[in-house]
Amino acid sequence: KRMTAQKLGYKPPRHVAIIMDGNGRWAEQRGLPRVMGHREGVEAVRRTVTASVDFGIEHLTLYSFSTENWKRPPGEVRDLMQLLRLFVQTDLSRLKRQGVRVRVIGDRASLSPDLVALVTDCERKTAEGQALNLNIAFNYGGRDELRRAVRSLAAAAAEGRIEPSAIDEADIARALDTSFSPDPDLLVRTSGEQRISNFLLWQTAYSEFVFQDVLWPDFSAQHLRAAVEEFAHRDRRYGGRDAKAAG
């Protein structure tokens, strides 16, 4: 059975976040249109979700479309919108069966109403999922998320629901799109680029970063396993002293 074959011999990170990068290069290397890279990228998403369930990861956050990706040609933007639409429809029954709870994070205000309806429907129909929380970051930007959080806190203060001088870090975390997940333990970026590109700016304050040279459409359970294993060897200090040196 796959479950036992894939299981890790150690405690997995609770929350893995992935910047899925390299779809365009994957297609260009093959002389294919970029959309083919994005389509293959969806296959990699499916493999990653299954592997995350097998590994016992509780939260998986995938960066699918950034607030800056609107700068791309309209045809590519349309393809990416269409792929999310297809994913939340075609994969719904399998995600339910796998016990995956889907949430889409980011600003929905500039997405088309039919796409928002499909996303909301998928969230509602998978709300019972217990195996994995899958957060799809779509029209997501870390600064945009903070902008929206600041506005909601400012509105609450203006209405007298909160005291400005009492706002603490937990209030800010609760006002973010990721309020239902702990901070990512591990952040993976594929394709060899080593930057954050406006992903989870607040939440990755103490995440461990792993950069892999693989292009996203080629990402497999083995790549996820390698990243998780590298994470297991990291020494997280959070600004304090490491366990061995302490005392």
Q: What is the phi-psi region of residue 203: left when phi exceeds 0, alpha when psi lies from -120 to 50, beta otherwise?
A: alpha
Which range in 6-14, 21-29, 100-108, 119-127 contacts ligand IPE by CB under 6 A? Answer: 21-29
Residue 69 designated active-site: yes
Q: How far is the CB of 226 from ligand IPE (least distance, A)?
A: 20
195 binds, among ligand IPE, Mg ion, none (CB under 5 to 8 A by kind): ligand IPE
Q: How far is the CB of 201 from ligand IPE (least distance, A)?
A: 13
**Pick from 12, 15, 16, 21: which binds ligand IPE (CB under 6 A)?**
21
Cα–Cα distance, 64 to 45 (Å, whole number): 10
Q: Name the nearest CA neighbour of 51 among 129, 120, 132.
A: 132
Residue 213 designated active-site: no
Query: Which SS3 state, helix, strand or coil, does residue 21 take?
Result: coil
Q: How far is the CB of 161 from ligand IPE (least distance, A)?
A: 34
Cα–Cα distance, 29 to 214 (Å, whole number): 13
User: Under rule CB under 5 A, which residues in 8-67 are in contact with Mg ion?
Assistant: 21
Is residue 85 a contact point for ligand IPE (CB under 6 A)? no
* Amino acid found at 99: G
Strand partners, 186: 16, 208
Q: What is the dihedral sign for C-alpha 193, 195, 199, 205?
A: positive
Q: Which of 54, 69, 79, 107 is catalytic?
A: 69
Tell me the DSSP string of 65-83: EETTGGGS-HHHHHHHHHH
Q: How far is the CB of 193 from ligand IPE (least distance, A)?
A: 5
Residue number, 151 or 195, with CB nearest to ligand IPE = 195
User: Under rule CB under 5 A, which residues in 185-224 are in contact with Mg ion?
Assistant: none
Is residue 87 a contact point for ligand IPE (CB under 6 A)? no
Q: How far is the CB of 188 from ligand IPE (least distance, A)?
A: 11
Taking residues 190 to 209 in sequence order and writing x for each that binds ligand IPE by CB under 6 A, - otherwise, the string is -x-x-x-x------------
Q: Which residues bind ligand IPE (CB under 6 A)?
A: 19-25, 63-66, 69, 80, 191, 193, 195, 197, 216
Which residues are the active-site residues?
Answer: 21, 69
